[in-house]
């Protein structure tokens, strides 16, 4: 497709309208309507808890890094031996991406309920996609791999983005062989999970948004 001057002008105009709308929305309602979520552009999450799975529970720890509370990376480690109970698989490491589209959409459009905990919980609903590396009993760590799809929601203890949260994340995991064949022949090929964590969320200013606009020191 050949981009002539008229099309370029339309694209530039559309971009300008979106940027002005976002700026006006922030000015009209003030930063308080974000409950601290725009005090910085990066959110760091450190959490610990437990995972409920069909073949035994596992202790769990997680790290998450989010950009504008809307998308980011996560790593989740599970270990059944830490609970003193047998589980299969014994250990699991999941790394992946999470997407949480509601915050910016609702905030920019002024669709908040103005109930801080409810707004924060609604906007935490997200989709998680990841790669799974597990350790079956009697095997080496990472000897089985696969994929995960999950959903999550987080409940703030305080009415603020920075602070303690309770997270609930659940979904399904498939082995590589199940994905290749399209059939889960055994419990090793497909597993449901539910993770409950207590986490600390810290909003920080990394200046990722305005890195190109900052004046030199």
Single pTM value for the model? 0.79
The predicted-structure confidence for 138-172, as pLDDT tens digits, reads as follows 889 888 999 999 999 999 999 999 999 999 999 99
More confident residue, 183 or 214: 183
Strand partners, 130: 96, 148
What are the φ and ψ backbone dihedral angles of 216, each rounded to 5 degrees?
-65, 145
Four-way CATH pick for 35-204: 3.40.50.300, 2.40.30.10, 2.40.160.20, 3.90.1150.10? 2.40.160.20
Query: What is the DSSP code string of 132-153?
Result: EEEE-TTS-TTSEEEEEEEEEE
Residue 173: CB partners within 8 Å, gap ≥ 6?
A: 94, 132, 146, 147, 148, 190, 191, 192, 193
The predicted-structure confidence for 73-108, as pLDDT tens digits, reads as follows 999 999 998 887 788 999 999 999 999 999 988 888
Give the domain ranges of the chain.
1-33, 35-204
């Amino acid at each position: 497709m050949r981009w002539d001057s008229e099309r370029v002008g339309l694209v530039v105009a559309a971009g300008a309208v979106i940027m002005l709308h976002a700026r006006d929305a922030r000015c009209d309602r003030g930063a308080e309507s974000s409950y601290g979520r725009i005090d910085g552009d990066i959110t760091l999450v450190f959490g610990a808890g437990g995972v409920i799975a069909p073949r035994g529970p596992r202790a769990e720890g997680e790290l998450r890094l989010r950009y504008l509370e809307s998308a980011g990376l996560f790593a989740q480690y599970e270990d059944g031996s830490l609970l003193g109970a047998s589980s299969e698989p014994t250990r699991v490491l999941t790394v992946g991406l999470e997407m949480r589209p509601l915050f910016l959409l609702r905030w920019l459009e002024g669709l908040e309920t103005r109930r801080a905990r409810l707004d924060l919980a609604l906007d935490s609903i997200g989709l998680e996609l990841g790669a799974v590396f597990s350790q079956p009993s009697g095997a080496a760590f990472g000897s089985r791999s696969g994929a995960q799809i999950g959903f999550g929601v987080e409940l703030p203890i305080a009415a603020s983005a920075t602070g303690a949260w309770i997270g609930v994340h659940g979904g399904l995991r498939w082995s590589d062989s199940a994905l290749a064949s399209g059939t889960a022949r055994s419990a090793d090929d497909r597993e449901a999970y539910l993770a409950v964590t207590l986490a600390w969320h810290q909003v920080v200013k990394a200046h990722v948004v305005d890195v190109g606009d900052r004046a030199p020191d």
